[in-house]
Chain A
Amino acid sequence: MKKLFRISIGLLLLMTSLTNHAVLRVVTTTQDLTSIAEAVGGEQVQVQSLTPGTRDPHFATAKPSMIRKVFRADLLLVIGTDMEIGWLPPLLQSARNTQVQPGNPGYLDLSNGVPLLGKISGPVSRAMGDVHAKGNPHYWLDPRNGVHMAQAIATRLSKLDPSHKDDYQRRFRAFAQTMDNKLPAWHAELAQLKGKPVIAYHKSFIYLADAFGFRIVDEVEPKPGIAPSAATLSALVARIKAKHIHLLIMEPYYERRSASYLNEQTGIRVAVLPQSVGAQPDINSYFDLFDAIVASLNNTIGK
């Protein structure tokens, strides 16, 4: 019986390997991961994102077309730290693809390879709002983490497709080299922001602040995911004036009224920053993303 089982498993594996396609199908939960995977995978991969860069990745719309994509995937790349908790687990169950289940080689959680900020030790309560106890999930907004992510993807692709290992490693080195070339320029452009206090709409820019040396001293949201009330806003006005904060940063998909109000009351400048690849039509790659963020910050503070 056991032998029969093994033979049938063997036959199954043989059949799947015979029908194997030349190109690895990679599915990602965000377009940032798509861009990095394409940079590392080149012509050996075909990458699709489950969510567009214009939408808040915490609140994806679960659609049947996603089941289809995950079902056919050879590799699933996720941000992790519970960012996709609201929609990925049921999607994985419906997609019935063993290979991309957590723990198998086709599942790669990129948060495992980056130094996470904002981990919470001690009790976490839903009364605190949308808090990610495992760490803040917006780590792709630190360009140095992009290199960690590219390396993890290159390692995993090499394992799934050893015949192109050299290609993946070569492209990873090129990615890291481009980053090395770009970082000093970005730092130079944002030099005047170093050490400055900044206010953010949502707790999503702590990695960006860490990378470029500015300080996020407050958020517009009183608690993560909780919209500000009139009372919170007037308290913010007082704090902005007292602490001499001159810059507010926010994602394009949040409501703009609170920011406009704060701008009218205090003169604080508002920079609407793309938070992901694809958030604006001209952001097609991970490097474009930081070019756009740096340009937007520069335009706002230089006004």
Chain B
Amino acid sequence: MDYSYFRMKRVAAVIGVMLLNPAVTFAEEDTDALRRQLTEIRQQMQHMQQSYTQQINALEQRLVGLESKSDNSATTVNSTAISSPSTTTTSNSGFKIGLSGLFAGGGSSVDNDALEGLQGGAHDPNQNGFTVQNVELSMGGTVGPYFDAQANIIFQIDADGETVVELEEAFFTTRSLPWGLQVKGGQYFTEFGRQNPQHPHTWAFMDQPVVLSRFFGGDGLRSQGVRASWLMPTDWYSELYFGVQNPKGETVTSFLNAPGEDIGGHTLIDRDTRNFGDLLYTARWLNGFDLSDTLSMNLGVSGLWGPNASGTATDTNIVGADLYLKWQPVYSQRGFPFISWHTEILQRRYEAGDPGDPSRKTLKDRGLFTQALWGFKPGWVAGLRAEYASADGNTSTDPLRDTRKRLSPNLTWYPSEYSKVRLQYNRDWTEHLPSKTADSLWLQFEFNLGSHAAHVF
């Protein structure tokens, strides 16, 4: 034991008291008296600390007892045989709360009306000037031994300056089902492809891919329902997802979108779910491979089947494939450098109009986006995205179905993991705009407060 430390502390304390009380003289007796008093105070403090520690330990013991009683299947709580100098146990069961804000500013060669058609995502920068893209409050944690839960609430300011509040997601997931099964239920982003379930602040580009805006609407595909997933006992990572969700609303636009909206010349009617056949069925198969120590690959296919509101017996089917490759060298600092490549291709078959309707036809749309990121030094990422979307038939005047191409280079700087600044240029080629092309430049800023567990594998 090194006692000099305590002596120094005592001297420091005495000096501190003298400084605080200018009336104190340097008389020897006074210092002695002070020393005695300080020793007493210290002893009292130590005594208090000891008794508190004992009380806390006793409470902890009782809690542990209660927990093991309330949970028969849970096994006994761990206790390391060695005396542990630190009594804190790591736990991710705490309630976590986080706030992220995403803002953009910039301008385009076209006016705000034209921009609305070009920037189809609800979180895209979509006006000359400033856009509050997304302010997201996320909360989550472990409910108990059996469930985790999470909720994400979005605040936005629309182009008219009105504040919009949305319940983006609120769902539970199971923790302890056997055989690699997991069930998720509530309101959640459909696991279709890699991009759709991601939240705007984790996107690699500041706007939603064109084909996703077209097929899933500005907010991405999300709805109320339940899905089960199965981590299969294969030698590589392989997971199957099956789900069923409500097909109705503005966040499932290719299905029972709001009545009065229009698709390919068909005005949507008010159609309700009457039986199991009128629900939205979702499926996904995701595989992951480590090709080498430095290269990994994810390969997925997804499908959606559900009713649409262009008639009383009409259906929509969307299928997609996604590929993600990531390279990181053996030596890397803070996750840099890296190169990633993400590509998705989607196709939609939309039955428009009931049988017998003279204007009945099947609308066929397709689209793809491919994006590469290069993290060239810690905190710096350069990106390039190319997109294409088109549809069968004469669709040149329809901003949601014409032939669209977009090329977007960008540069992102992360001052820390909790903030970013991004500059992005969009070159658009369209059929529906008189100018046929558009050039836009945007600057984005993001902050993250608290914790947000939204990592994508």
Contact = CB atoms under 8 A, between A and B. Distances in A.
Given A58-B334, A61-B296, A113-B84, A98 B176 contact: yes
Interface string B138-164: 000000010010000000000000000
A108 B177 contact: no
Contact of A78 (B73, B86, B90, B326): B90
Contact of A96 (B90, B231, B378): B231
Given A96-B182, A105-B75, A111-B90, A64 B82 contact: no
Nearest to A115: B85
Interface stretch (A49-57, A187-195, A288-296): A49-57
Contacts of A226: 416
Nearest to B74: A104
B394 interface: no
A6 interface: yes
Interface string B159-187: 00000000000000111111011100000
A62 B334 contact: no
With a 10 A CB-CB cut-off, give which of A58, A64, A87 has the most chain B CB atoms.
A64
Contact of A9 (B73, B80, B286, B338): B73
A269 B445 CA distance: 41
B237 interface: yes
A114 B88 CA distance: 12
B25 interface: no
Interface string B228-258: 0001000011010000000000000000000
A156 B80 contact: yes
Nearest to A155: B81
B40 interface: no
A64 B81 contact: no
Interface in A200-258: 225-227, 252-255
A255 B333 contact: yes
Interface stretch (A32-40, A65-73, A260-268): A65-73
Nearest to B91: A102
B89 A102 contact: yes
A107 interface: yes
Interface string B420-449: 000000000000000000000000000000
A90 B75 contact: no
B92 A89 contact: yes
Interface string B115-129: 000000000000000
A112 B180 contact: no
Nearest to A126: B418
B237 A64 contact: yes
Contacts of A56: 332-335
Contacts of B91: 102-103
Contacts of B5: none
A283 interface: no
Interface size class of A (residues with CB under 8 A): 35 or more
Interface stretch (B210-218, B287-295, B305-313, B352-360): B287-295
A33 B32 CA distance: 53
Contact of B455 (A62, A95, A98): A62
A170 B386 CA distance: 61
Given A55-B332, A112-B84, A113-B80, A96 B177 contact: yes
A134 interface: yes
Given A96-B177, A96-B182, A65 B290 contact: yes
Contacts of B231: 67-68, 71, 95-96
A94 B457 contact: yes
B256 to A, nearest CB: 31
Interface string B330-347: 111111001000000000
Nearest to A153: B80
B90 A102 contact: yes
A283 to B, nearest CB: 13
B72 interface: yes
Contacts of A67: 231, 237, 239, 288, 457
B52 to A, nearest CB: 15
Given A102-B89, A103-B91, A113-B84, A64 B457 contact: yes
A64 B298 contact: yes
A16 B85 CA distance: 35
A111 B239 CA distance: 33
Contacts of B453: 89-90, 93
A97 to B, nearest CB: 9
Nearest to B84: A112
Given A68-B236, A93-B148, 15 more contacts: A52-B293, A58-B334, A65-B296, A67-B239, A68-B237, A81-B90, A93-B175, A93-B453, A96-B181, A102-B93, A104-B74, A104-B78, A111-B86, A134-B88, A152-B82
Interface of A: 6, 9, 12, 16, 52, 54-56, 58-59, 61-68, 71, 78, 80-82, 86-90, 92-96, 98, 101-105, 107-109, 111-116, 126, 129, 134-135, 148, 151-152, 155-156, 225-227, 252-255
The 6 closest A-B pairs by CB, nearest first: A64-B288, A64-B237, A59-B335, A98-B176, A89-B92, A155-B81
28 contacts: A6-B72, A9-B73, A55-B330, A55-B331, A56-B332, A56-B335, A59-B335, A62-B456, A63-B290, A63-B457, A64-B298, A65-B237, A65-B296, A86-B455, A92-B92, A94-B457, A96-B174, A96-B182, A96-B231, A105-B75, A105-B76, A105-B78, A112-B89, A113-B84, A151-B82, A225-B416, A227-B378, A255-B333
Interface of B: 72-78, 80-82, 84-93, 145, 148, 173-178, 180-182, 231, 236-237, 239, 286-290, 293, 296, 298, 326, 328, 330-335, 338, 377-379, 416-418, 453-457
